[in-house]
Amino acid sequence: MSITRSLLADLRRAVGPQGYLEQAADIEPFLVDHRKLYRGATPLVLRPESTDQVSAIMRMCNEARVGVVPVGGNTGYCGGATPSEDGSQIVLSLARMRRIRAIDPLNYTMIAEAGCVLAEVQAAAASVDRLFPMSLGSEGSCQLGGNLSTNAGGTAVLRYGMMRDLILGLEVVLPDGRVLDNLKPLRKDNTGYDLRNLFIGAEGTLGVITAAACKLFSRPASNVTAFVGLTDPQRAVSLLSRLRTFTGDAVSTFELIPRTALELVLEYIPNTANPLDQGHDWYVLLEIGMGRQAESMREAIEAELAAAMEQGEISDAALAASESQREMFWRLRETIPEAQRHIGASIKHDVSVTTSELPRFIVEASQLVRALSPKGRIVSYGHLGDGNLHFNISRPIDSDDESFLRLAPNINRAVHDLIARYGGSISAEHGIGRLKREELVRYEPPVAIEVMRAIKQALDPNGIMNPGKVL
């Protein structure tokens, strides 16, 4: 159904004068997704300040059968928060709901609203000497609600899990405006079905998450951050197992970086240097966080890396000697996407396989890509500890963006078909949004799609929650 003037007036009234945007310039940032893949239209961006206001909005839109698109920091990669082109959907920004409602260091929990920027949540935890471990590139602008709706991943999943693993309870406004209050900060609660995990990762298609009870952890008293050179990914897999065992699963980051990626970073990003004396075919950035008991940990891990070197598992390693060096090590990893943008268009894949099969997957996927684009520059890096690879191909030096991107459908198909043969995932951490809807239907088992549709129908019978996304 279309949006009537009277509905618009009711919605404006529900949120008050501070609660909406309708001038073209104000609305503009909500019309385009982070990767500029889509441009939508909307007559109204709502900015409610309370759960009650969200509830009122949903009730009205449900009665009018008008679609609602929830948006957080708009940093997603799959267009999941962009309205449709026809202007028939309302955008719902949670940005004004940014209170930390409660924080309990002895219970290791915090209750925060969906509009909190991730960095604020991290800072609130740190202020009581606790850690909220979710960490990713856009943490300065992405919002907790978006992290929840996309089940965000990032660089600490190996030890602390995805967003799903960090949540004890949720407050959700259902499509018809009812409020589902499951915000208890309890570690154990076996009373009926688990509802929170339906909404986590549903990309706003089942309801609007307005607040969450989050798990906190102890802040590591010290971190060992190492940059390691090695000859191949198989050795990286062995090193991961060695260090997980050695440290009692205290490895929080284990990122694989190929020679091409480091060279791009060193060429295009200022203030970067290879921490190792020579170049290597592959690198690993790893971090191990430990408590105060482990004052001798640094030496012990240094000795263990020396043993790995003697046994030929790794070729070289450097340990960050200061906080600034640690930051530089991290910059080498985090600026890879930026460095890649300097060399033209790229075709990206966010895939996962088992950690043990990841080395073989890289070899086979690279062969497939070379058959389709012999000079395409493969930049395959990512979270080896979780089996999550960002398998990207930048255009050849002697080509142009447009003709290279014409290869995308064939390259995507080849890589995703290979993923299917490995029993892997075609979207490890970026979700489905609008971009991968057809891929989802192609690769997900039909029974799973049927069950998802049954759940969507049960919770959102009028189909007003983020229409056109995921399913």
Give the C-alpha separation, 126 to 218, whole Å.
Answer: 9
Query: Which of the residues 225 through 284 are near a copy of itself (CB under 8 A)?
Result: 237-238, 240-241, 244-250
DSSP state letter for 465: B
Q: Which is nearer to a copy of itself, 20 or 246 (CB)?
A: 246
Residue 99 within binding range of a copy of itself, rule CB under 8 A = no
Measured from the CB of residue 167, what is the shortest distance to a copy of itself in angstroms?
A: 11
> To the nearest 5 percent, what fractions of the chain are helix, strand and coil?
40, 20, 40
User: By CB under 8 A, is residue 431 in contact with a copy of itself?
Assistant: yes
In the region spanning residues 23 to 62, those forming contacts with a copy of itself, defined by CB under 8 A, are none
Using CB under 8 A as the binding rule, the residues of this chain from 446 to 465 that contact a copy of itself are 447-452, 454-459
- The kind and range of the H/E element at 428 are none
Residue ranges with strand state E in 31-158:
45-46, 67-71, 89-93, 100-104, 109-113, 130-131
Q: Smallest distance, Å, CB 417 to a copy of itself?
A: 15
- What is residue 102's three-state secondary structure? strand
Binding track, positions 338-357, relative to a copy of itself; x by CB under 8 A: --------------xxxxxx
For a copy of itself, the binding residue among 184, 259, 331, 413 (CB under 8 A) is 184
Size of the site for a copy of itself (CB under 8 A): 106
Q: Does 467 bind a copy of itself (CB under 8 A)?
A: no
Using CB under 8 A as the binding rule, whether residue 309 contacts a copy of itself is answered as: no
Which residue bears the tokens 């259902």? 174
Say whether 135 sits in a helix, a strand or coil. Answer: coil
Angstrom distance (rounded) from CA 467 to CA 444: 20
- Dist CA 371 CA 83 (whole Å): 38
311 interacts with a copy of itself by CB under 8 A: no
Q: Is 445 in the site for a copy of itself (CB under 8 A)?
A: yes
Smallest gap, in angstroms, from Cβ of residue 398 to a copy of itself? 35
Does residue number 423 form part of the binding site for a copy of itself (CB under 8 A)? yes
Pairwise CA distance, residues 60 & 173, whole Å? 13
Q: Which residues contact 269 (CB under 8 A, 6 or more apart)?
A: 331, 335, 338, 339
- Tokens 């897999």 locate to 237
Tell me how far, at minimum, the Cβ of 27 lies from a copy of itself, in Å: 28
Give the x-and-dash track for 141-180 against a copy of itself (CB under 8 A).
Answer: ---------xx-x---xx--xx-xx--------x---xxx
What is residue 208's DSSP assignment? E
Tokens representing residue 60 in the block: 């009205």
User: What residues numbered 358-397 form the site for a copy of itself, per CB under 8 A?
Assistant: 383, 386-388
Interface positions, 185-214, toward a copy of itself (CB under 8 A): 185-195, 197-198, 200-202, 206
